[in-house]
Amino acid sequence: MNTSADMSGTNANNNPYQQNPNTSMQNKTQQQLDDEAAEAKKKRAGPKRRKVTHACVYCRRSHMTCDDGRPCQRCIKRNIGHLCHDEPKNSSSSQVSSNSNNSGSSGSQMQEGRRASQHQQQQLSQFQSTSQQMQGSVNNIYGFNNQLSALPATPLTFASEHMGNEYTVISDFLESLGGDQQNVFPEPGMLVNTTEKFFLTAANPSDGSNEDRLTQVINAKFEAGFLKPYNYVNGYSRLQKYMDSYMSNISRQRILNVMGTFRPAFRSVAQSLTDIDLVLVEEAFERLLLDYDRVFSSMGIPACLWRRTGEIYKGNKEFAALVNVPLEMLREGRLCIYELMAEESAVNYWEKYGNIAFDAGQKAVLTSCLLKNPDPDSQNVISCCFSFTIRRDKYNIPTVIVGNFLPVALG
């Protein structure tokens, strides 16, 4: 038994092809390490990256090696080539870089920067000189008194240079206009004229009902001179001149007698009316004109309307054709109703009008008249069936008289 064991042990020790497993693993590991070291040495044997004196901003921040190209290869690989640039250098670094290989390129960049800065300074100074010239010419023409020189000379400081430049340009522009910056907006204690007061009231009326706000706006508009009561004195003066020129003394006296009958009633009402009340009446008259503009355009009967003093302010084309005048003459009081009537018809109208002018229970009259052309030399007359209606305001004063005329053929 012992002999066979010894023999097997002897054969195991004397076998030249059998190796120790631990020894083969150590040899294989060492061989792999040597191969990897040789391969790394071959990779390092390539061309070395050349170091540069100044790295770009992003390579400097990443503490990575940069190259001379701009953009550099590292920024190109990172897809930020459009952002690659050198970090601005101070005076000491520029002196050091002047001894390097890139001194030529950096010096040209600095020169370009200086030229750009000088160009901006020249533009700013040119704009300021132009603004001063404009200011002088405007002051000489319009007599502006520039009070900007009285402002304190304390320089203003801005956190941003761009904002400071913008403020300077705006200030120069305002100075070129010759205005006073201190009086751009009216102070609370300053007097405001009536026109400005109307605009302020119309834009921002005070609190209250709609009627109160409308009254405030109308009062401000009246004070500004944009609203005025109608001057009926001129209408009566026109009537007086016409009667003196084209009517007999008897006809003129008949018309004056009629006016004497309704004058007391008119005086009793008119004494309590203010200018604002008359302005409101005039506003109502304008609205009536708009209403009758649609009425006259849709009716085929000759018609027109006039004020209580006789001035015609609206007429349709049928009436214009009937009296043979242009339609534009039946606007804005260019003609009077009594100028288109024969003398007896005009007197008859004034008598009938005076009898019901201030009688609230009556407003329409049916009569007849003879119409004529306003030309004094014209002798042709048109016989018409004539009706007129009196429209009164809220104070029972006649405002508008509307007349309809139906031509009648003479037998």
In angstroms, rounded to a whole number, what is the distance separating the alpha carbons of residues 371 and 323?
7
In angstroms, rounded to a whole number, what is the distance separating the alpha carbons of residues 398 and 390?
6
Quote the pLDDT of residue 333. 94
Quote the pLDDT of residue 392. 92
Quote the pLDDT of residue 64. 82
Please check the confidence at residue 409 and state whether its pLDDT lies above 90: no
In angstroms, rounded to a whole number, what is the distance separating the alpha carbons of residues 186 and 196?
11
Please check the confidence at residue 298 and state whether its pLDDT lies above 80: yes
Tell me the average pLDDT across 382-405: 94
Quote the pLDDT of residue 176. 46
Residues in Cβ contact with 102 at an 8 Å cutoff, skipping those fewer than 6 apart = 52, 53, 54, 68
pLDDT in tens, 307-354: 999 999 999 999 999 999 999 999 999 999 999 999 999 999 999 999
Q: 3-class secondary structure for 134-154? A: HHHHHHHHHCCCCCHHHCCCC
The larger pLDDT score, comparing residue 55 to residue 18, is at 55
Long-range pairs for 16-25: beta carbons < 8 A, 24 or more residues apart: none
Q: Residue 99: how many CB atoms within 10 A of its CB?
A: 8
8 A C-beta contact, residue 202 and residue 217 = yes
Side chain identity at 79, as an amino acid letter?
A: N
Quote the pLDDT of residue 334. 94
In angstroms, rounded to a whole number, what is the distance separating the alpha carbons of residues 224 and 196?
8
Quote the pLDDT of residue 48. 55
Phi, psi of 371 (to 5 degrees): -95, 155
Residue 101: which pLDDT band, with cuts at 50, 70 and 90?
very low
If we measure between CA atoms, which residue out of 328, 325, 301 comes closest to residue 313?
Answer: 328
If we measure between CA atoms, which residue out of 312, 319, 300 comes closest to residue 338?
Answer: 312
Tell me the average pLDDT across 290-307: 90
In angstroms, rounded to a whole number, what is the distance separating the alpha carbons of residues 386 and 365?
8
CA dihedral for 221, 223, 225, 227, sign (positive or negative): positive
Strand ranges for 15-139 from DSSP E: none
pLDDT averaged over every residue in the chain: 74
Tell me the average pLDDT across 165-172: 52
In angstroms, rounded to a whole number, what is the distance separating the alpha carbons of residues 333 and 13?
147
What are the angstrom distances between the C-alpha of 106 and each of 54, 63, 255, 269? Answer: 10, 22, 106, 97
Residues in Cβ contact with 118 at an 8 Å cutoff, skipping those fewer than 6 apart = none
Residue 302: which pLDDT band, with cuts at 50, 70 and 90?
very high
Quote the pLDDT of residue 130. 59
E strand or H helix that includes residue 160: none
In angstroms, rounded to a whole number, what is the distance separating the alpha carbons of residues 270 and 111?
89
Tell me the average pLDDT across 142-170: 47
Please check the confidence at residue 84 and state whether its pLDDT lies above 70: yes
The larger pLDDT score, comparing residue 314 to residue 166, is at 314
The larger pLDDT score, comparing residue 360 to residue 160, is at 360
Instruction: Using CB atoms within 10 Å of the CB of residue 259, give its burial: 0 to 12 exposed, 13 to 18 middle, 19+ buried.
Output: middle
Least confident residue range of 108-112, 132-136, 299-303: 132-136
8 A C-beta contact, residue 77 and residue 52 = no
Residue 89: which pLDDT band, with cuts at 50, 70 and 90?
low
In angstroms, rounded to a whole number, what is the distance separating the alpha carbons of residues 220 and 168?
41
Tokens linked to 359:
């009688």
Least confident residue range of 47-61, 135-149, 372-386, 396-410: 135-149
pLDDT in tens, 182-214: 443 444 444 457 777 766 776 676 777 777 776
In angstroms, rounded to a whole number, what is the distance separating the alpha carbons of residues 201 and 271?
29
- DSSP code of residue 331: S
User: Over pLDDT 90: what percentage of the chain?
Assistant: 26
Residues in Cβ contact with 128 at an 8 Å cutoff, skipping those fewer than 6 apart = 172
The larger pLDDT score, comparing residue 281 to residue 388, is at 388
Quote the pLDDT of residue 136. 55
Quote the pLDDT of residue 331. 92
Please check the confidence at residue 1 and state whether its pLDDT lies above 60: no
Residue 16: which pLDDT band, with cuts at 50, 70 and 90?
very low
3-state class of 180 per DSSP?
Answer: coil
Quote the pLDDT of residue 348. 96
Tell me the average pLDDT across 298-305: 92
Quote the pLDDT of residue 317. 94
